Chain A
């Protein structure tokens, strides 16, 4: 390919684009710095609009969720050890859905008629005799409505709710490959009654995940940076406001100091988890100027006077975020 150097537009633009791409790539490699802020912003957004909707959704769901939730959670738990996170649960079910291949194999045997007719039940136990404990559970789940007629089946129906789930958990924990099987078993159960419950159960996690509170929790817990349990901006404001109010009450500003409007000492404090002082308060850039010294000493007196600080319980888990404070004292607004 020849390049027409009298019109270098194409090659030059290519070069520029390449450079731009390179520059953006470089910029994005350090972009993770922004992650912390988006989290907090998300919290603020939710508080305004979504909270109301969320509460409503929860209320309606609660009536139906209880049964379904338990099952879904536990099912989802099997593949992923994280039972709490809504997202994790979702992710797990989706992989389970992927094994359609095995399902197809089974489906041919007990296709759709399974649900209406009890006969498929016996078939399944036969197919899965090896994992004895597992079989009864899935049966119970699926057969729940029909089992009553047969005496042997009544046992599994009881297992349905809690026992089934526990057993499933145990089995799944013991045998990792089993989850796929369990998933297969659950799918065939989609039939009549179970379908609704399953749908509901699936909806619930989605709703949970879409809720603001859940979102914020998962995002903080799941951040790749691993800076879990960080104060959000609003929490940060709240806590710093609480501390500021406490110090304000203790601070007797040295009104007599010369040029006080230009003196803004910063005092660094370490706090223990109970709010008491960890070490001595230290003035940053400690000065020998008498006026500045008087300001610093008044500030340190205020902090000593105030300690231990009252840290509300909801902030205890964020200790890492407030164990060290930088307190700026500014008299300008008072003069």
Chain B
């Protein structure tokens, strides 16, 4: 009987209340399941480790020791050590230690240094090297970079070159040290084309010149018979585009800095100015003045075909490509004052990105890394060099004063050169600043200098 009742109940249960029952059963089972699942997820106090977040630091250039290179040619070796020392110091990221403080005076290049003795003078890294000349006159340069704190070699290489390339090898070694420590590409093995200025302020002679990025090894590219301005390096070759005032209208020229051969870019009626190469080096974008208006044109260097990119009655100038070549940043007074705009590389609508109150922006240059746009800003009678993100945010002024102008990017996008005038009769000088604005160095030139254009890394 009992069994019957039970079966009856079960049947009744299943027949009449199956759905609500199942619903509840699901609910309960889900609840229990959640309990099972959730319990292991309950917060547990991790007592195995003490977690610390360090979100502040105290930037200090890294103390680095550059031991004098050893070898059969002590003079060359010492010169190379000095070039490397100077390069690393100018980067602002390293603080070379005075040689006089070295405890281990003679470093054996083929053995690990005495880390303790370098640690004692607070060196965090050590560069050692050896320079030898073989029978054919070739220069063999070897170097090692040591991590003193970790007690291990970080990198080491050797180069066999012509004896005349001492400076370049030194720059290459500097780049290797720099990039190994910072994780960024180097920029020491580069050159800068600039306008060398001599004569009085009223009668300046402007010649195109080229030098190593450290100001050494300068030589002229033009003879000073015509006025030259705004040289711009090709990002892919050793060619420079610039504007020269010859007999007729000022024209844009391209010159090979190795061969010094030059040619006019396009044949336009009217003045062309503010040229700049595309990232692939195949095109030149520039301004063409017609009447009171200036518009932006691009010319394909192979086909010589030109395309008009803007069509305004305003002055659109200083175009600069984004590193991917898809966009162009330029300055325009179409809104009433000089401001920075971005448009597609094929032209079309432009979007203003500079909005500083009471400020005029000019000479925008897109960083080779793409993360910033450098510019000159005029505000309150002061000229500043600054950077902003391509969307116009994060504006950061790197230097400001009587007159600063014409930023140009190092190929690694972490440094800028520009030229600065002090008030008075003195001419301008070229300076280098990093994107934090913390590191600033004069680039030593024999005469006054302006309009620097930084080359890509040499090949």
Which A residues fall within an 8 A CB radius of B? 3, 5-6, 8, 12, 15-16, 19-20, 22-24, 26-27, 29-31, 33-34, 36-37, 227, 230-231, 236, 239-240, 243-244, 247-259, 268, 280, 289-295, 297, 299-302, 304-305, 321-322, 324-334
Contact = CB atoms under 8 A, between A and B. Distances in A.
Interface of B: 9, 12-13, 16-17, 20-21, 24, 27-28, 31-32, 34-36, 38-40, 42-45, 47-62, 93, 124, 149-150, 179, 181-184, 369, 371, 414, 434-436, 438
Nearest to A35: B45
B54 A33 contact: no
Contact of B54 (A20, A22, A248, A258): A248
A15 to B, nearest CB: 7
A37 B44 CA distance: 10
Could you say which of B38, B44, B59, B369 has the most chain A C-beta atoms within 10 Å of its C-beta? B59
A257 to B, nearest CB: 6
A15 B35 contact: no
A321 B50 contact: yes
Nearest to A295: B183
Contacts of A31: 42
A190 B195 CA distance: 107
Nearest to B122: A305
B45 A36 contact: yes
Contacts of B53: 244, 327-330
A252 B52 contact: no
Contacts of B434: 256
Contacts of B16: 5-6
A240 B52 contact: yes
A248 B42 contact: no
Contacts of B44: 33
Contact of A327 (B32, B48, B52, B58): B52
A321 B54 CA distance: 19
Contacts of B12: 5
A217 B164 CA distance: 77
Contacts of A8: 17, 20-21
B104 to A, nearest CB: 20
Contacts of A328: 51-54
Contact of A33 (B27, B45, B62): B45
29 contacts: A5-B13, A8-B21, A12-B20, A16-B27, A19-B32, A23-B32, A26-B35, A26-B36, A27-B38, A30-B39, A30-B42, A31-B42, A34-B42, A231-B50, A253-B57, A256-B182, A256-B414, A256-B434, A258-B183, A290-B184, A291-B184, A293-B183, A299-B54, A301-B149, A326-B51, A328-B51, A328-B54, A332-B55, A334-B55
A324 B49 contact: yes
Given A15-B24, A329-B54, A290 B183 contact: yes
Contacts, number: 167
A10 to B, nearest CB: 13
Contacts of B17: 5, 8
Contact of B184 (A250, A258, A329): A258
B13 A294 contact: no
A257 B58 contact: no
Contacts of B54: 244, 247-248, 251, 299, 302, 327-330
B183 A294 contact: yes
A156 B100 CA distance: 83
Contact of B31 (A19, A243, A302): A19
B20 A256 contact: no
Contacts of A300: 150
Contacts of B436: 255-256
A301 B124 contact: yes
Given A322-B50, A328-B51, A254 B58 contact: no
A16 B184 contact: no
A132 to B, nearest CB: 53
A334 B56 contact: yes
B142 to A, nearest CB: 24
A334 B36 contact: no
A255 B50 contact: no
Contacts of B55: 329-334
B43 A325 contact: no
Given A23-B31, A328-B52, A334-B55, 17 more contacts: A5-B16, A22-B32, A22-B35, A24-B35, A37-B45, A240-B50, A244-B53, A248-B58, A250-B58, A255-B438, A256-B414, A280-B150, A294-B183, A305-B124, A325-B51, A327-B51, A329-B53
- In order of increasing CB-CB distance, the 10 nearest A-B pairs are A294-B183, A290-B183, A253-B57, A23-B35, A251-B57, A304-B149, A19-B28, A330-B55, A328-B53, A36-B45
A255 B59 contact: yes
